[in-house]
Structure 1
Amino acid sequence: MALDKPLLYGIIHLGASSMSMTIVEYTTIDDVKIIEYASRDVTFGEELFHNKRLSFQTIEEICRLLKGYKRLMKENGVTDYTVYATAIVREAENRRSIMDQIFVQTGFKVEVVDMPKEIYYKYFGLYYRMMQQGLTNTDDAALFLDITSGGVGITVWKGGALLFQENVHLGTLRVMESFNRNQRSSLSFPDAVGEYLHSMLQPVEEEVRRFNVKYFVLSGDEAREIANLMGFKTHGKETMALLPKQFEEFVDSFHGVTATKLVNRYDIPEHRANILMPTIVLYSELLKMVHPQSLLISSYGFVDGVVLYYGAEIENNKFLYMMREQNLQLARAIAESYQVDTLHAREVERFSLQLSRALADYGITDRMIFVLQLAAILAEVGKFVSLRNHSEHAYHIIMGTDLFGLSDSEKEVVANVVYYHYKGKPDDDDENFRYLKESQKVWVMKFVAILRCMRALDVSHKRKISKLGIKRDDKKIVVNVHTDQDISLEKWTFEREAEFFSEVFGLEMVLRIGGK
């Protein structure tokens, strides 16, 4: 649904190889106009690669560029903006100093995007554009390979469903920093990199192969630049199709791809060659694993995805909910892999959804409801490890899993909710809860209160309740359940859990039982 008034906002991206500012006028997801765009190629990634931190001089240069972007936004009347930083700040050992200096010198608060969220933003925008081009309406599986400076995202979809998502800490900077300068100049280096990447990706090979991937999707500046080196020109946001054989012939022509060969053949800067070389080898290794029929190359990148997501979230566009449903489907697949009672999980999710919607004026937003649904789906994954202390096992499983579409802080919330969903109460004496920010702790308290009451309604796992209704006023919330079975266990458990709910929300919680 289009906004009543176009939204004007700015997106600044602080990246490893470029800094950019994009000013956007957003009316609806199909009506996004770029008002102003400024970009500057930088070599910050090269410095981070060598030193694992950014120097004083580099931070000063970043601040100088940011001040220029700030002036441009002021000239365009932009007051709504966000500054995003990806691997260049995320991977730096002096991350806090960088962010503090930026704030002191420019007034900008930097949002450091963790790797799973960075990859999700790209997927969000790429999937929408491909959907608009009719490229997602297929019964064949597609693999989206996203390579950042600090990691690799492997995402498989088929039609409108997400089938698989895994993030590996194996980005271009990480690959190059694994070898010293002498090793990188060796004739054996290309083969060594290939073997290194293969060994790192081997754990996901069997998973990926079982989807019978037909389309291999490459996106972003590096994908576009490699296509250009091959002699193919990308046009705007259109997706280009190539044959895997064409890429294989390009790689074979080097007789071992190295940064030096890229520099000599194409006269590109060394810092770009150091990014493109592992990218090319990584593409090659994945192609050997999945044997797709076609390569799809798009120039769509991180900023494009953020621009679209930022506006869609404010507009509350229906595509946002379509993508969230994909994330929920993926979470259900994860739960099934841990042999969760999926019918019970569905009941708890459904009941929790109803109750949380009735609490909208108690600070429960749509985003919070989405995170709560994920917690309900994954609450019992720990039973796969052991029935004893299963909530603690579930916590560690979730903390060790990238939940697509969630930031790291939201994942911490989910992990803590499942930790307390069965017994105990969130307490600062617990290490897992103590280190959370206060805003996260509030989310956890509310989610645990909701989830435990709604879990109580199917505590027997027998799905005795045929219908549930919720009514509330300023002081009381009444849960009406319809059943033709004995729900004494559910009633007693609910009454016990309702005490904590009342403590958190300040509402009396009452259960009323009616016929079917």
Structure 2
Amino acid sequence: MKKKSYTTFAAIHLGSEMISMQIVEYRNMNKVKVIEQCNHRVKLGEETFKNKIIPFSMVSEICELLQGYKRLMSEYGVEECSVQATTAVREALNQVFLLDQIYIKTGLKVKVVDMPQEIYTKYTAIRQTLRSEGINGKDYGMLLMDISSGGLGITFVDDEKIKYQQNFHVGIIRIKESFNRNQRNGMQFNLALTEFLASTMGPVREALKDANIRYLILSGTETELLLQMLGLDTQAKVTRIKAEEFMELFHKVHKLNLPQIIKVFKIKESVAELVLPTILLYEQLLALVPTKEIIITADRFIDGIQLLHIGPKTDKEYAAELEKEQLSLIHNIGEHYNYDVKHAKQVERLALAMFDKLSKSHGMD
């Protein structure tokens, strides 16, 4: 019998607005074929951000959906699987109950990732896409901003090194839930939201005041809404936009309240409620970076799960690159807090020496 030349892998993401699965066949990083994709909308984020718990009915819905995904995995002969949950599950007070029910009913073990890990996972996928477009960040700076339903991740890359990374509990649905319906409909909502976001962005503004940034890279679920309002292709892998194009849209939206947005852009009320938070947040981010071009990528968290699973397993150079990059970020964080470089390097040298001498005794690889 001929030996199979590829491995089948499934990545599942329990997000705030969507539960997604992507099944691929791979040989290495450059030979990956998507054979199945599933996306199911859920209001997980709204429930968690508003009530701090995931209701029992939604727990049952999630388990039922994952049972279906599990059957699909079996049909495709999936050999490897990674199930990860982000903001909504991470912040739910009954997180343990949800994970326990999922394991009992499906046998799937869910890894709940913290925000820095969530942003980094997404960043790896975005960086890979940018490199394929010839945008590698060598000799110039890029600011990557990922906006999800419940969080905002900001990563500054200069000369292919991560120089700054900051995460905020400021997402589109979270902002929406911070203001009641009457407040969102009022003409003063724009001003209140602008002031709220400007105060949140203060630390980033200070940290990046001397940075030389060529590109502002945007990603996240709401970028599709932005592209739609600009009349651009929402399915494109990479979209490049001039900053002045965005500012024209911003000035137009800034003068409108919720009912007017629904009428002007011909969108549903549920979608229109996300327009102002999205546009105003992007405007605040653009104010941080005097860049002339904005790049929007379609990469999702699930793409990062896939890359970080396949890359290190099949490419030693990529694995070494990831390690080097993570250490670079760690040392830059240390510099931000004025750490003792000599002391840190000495501790690192001794720790590595101890590990090398003791690893075999403890059965470590």
- Length-normalised TM-score, structure 1: 0.65
8 Å Cα contact 1:191/1:256 also seen in 2: no
Deviations 1:149-206 (A, max 9, x none): 2221110001211111111122223322222222122111122111101011112212
Q: Secondary structure at the match of 1:19?
A: strand
Deviations 1:354-409 (A, max 9, x none): 443454433444xxxxxxxxxxxxxxxxxxxxxxxxxxxxxxxxxxxxxxxxxxxx
In structure 2, how many angstroms separate the alpha carbons of the residues matched to 1:242 and 1:39? 28
Distance 1:265 1:91, change over 3 A: farther
Residue equivalent to 1:164: 164
Residue equivalent to 2:339: 340
8 Å Cα contact 2:148/2:221 also seen in 1: no
- Tell me the amino acid that sits aligned with residue 89 of structure 1: V
Q: Where does 1:63-142 land on structure 2 (aligned, <5 Å)?
A: 63-142=63-142
8 Å Cα contact 2:193/2:277 also seen in 1: yes
Q: Is 1:294 matched with 2:293?
A: yes
Displacement of 1:257: 5.8
8 Å Cα contact 2:49/2:88 also seen in 1: no
Distance 1:358 1:294, change over 3 A: farther
In structure 2, how many angstroms separate the alpha carbons of the residues matched to 1:309 and 1:327? 13
Q: Where does 1:37-436 land on structure 2 (aligned, <5 Å)?
A: 37-237=37-237, 239-256=238-255, 260-361=259-360, 362-365=362-365
8 Å Cα contact 1:46/1:271 also seen in 2: no
8 Å Cα contact 2:54/2:94 also seen in 1: yes
Distance 1:42 1:268, change over 3 A: farther
Distance 1:351 1:219, change over 3 A: same
Q: Relative contact order (alpha carbons < 8 A, sep ≥ 6): 1 or 2 greater?
A: 2
- Tell me the amino acid that sits aligned with residue 302 of structure 2: V
Displacement of 1:65: 1.2
Structure 2 unaligned spans of 5+: none
In structure 1, how many angstroms separate the alpha carbons of the residues matched to 2:271 and 2:171? 14
8 Å Cα contact 1:22/1:34 also seen in 2: yes
Displacement of 1:267: 4.2
Identity %: 37
In structure 1, how many angstroms separate the alpha carbons of the residues matched to 2:273 and 2:104? 33
Distance 1:103 1:133, change over 3 A: same
- Tell me the amino acid that sits aligned with residue 153 of structure 1: G
Displacement of 1:117: 0.9
In structure 2, how many angstroms separate the alpha carbons of the residues matched to 1:88 and 1:125? 21
- Length-normalised TM-score, structure 2: 0.91
- Tell me the amino acid that sits aligned with residue 46 of structure 1: E
RMSD: 2.2
Q: Number of residues paired by the alignment?
A: 361
In structure 2, how many angstroms separate the alpha carbons of the residues matched to 1:305 and 1:275? 25
8 Å Cα contact 2:140/2:213 also seen in 1: yes
Deviations 1:204-229 (A, max 9, x none): 21212211222100013321331122
Bigger mean CA offset, 93-102 vs 284-293: 93-102
Bigger mean CA offset, 145-154 vs 334-343: 334-343
Residue equivalent to 1:419: none
8 Å Cα contact 1:23/1:37 also seen in 2: yes
- Tell me the amino acid that sits aligned with residue 102 of structure 1: I
In structure 2, how many angstroms separate the alpha carbons of the residues matched to 1:354 and 1:234? 51
Displacement of 1:351: 4.5
Distance 1:300 1:352, change over 3 A: same
Q: Where does 1:6-21 land on structure 2 (aligned, <5 Å)?
A: 6-21=6-21
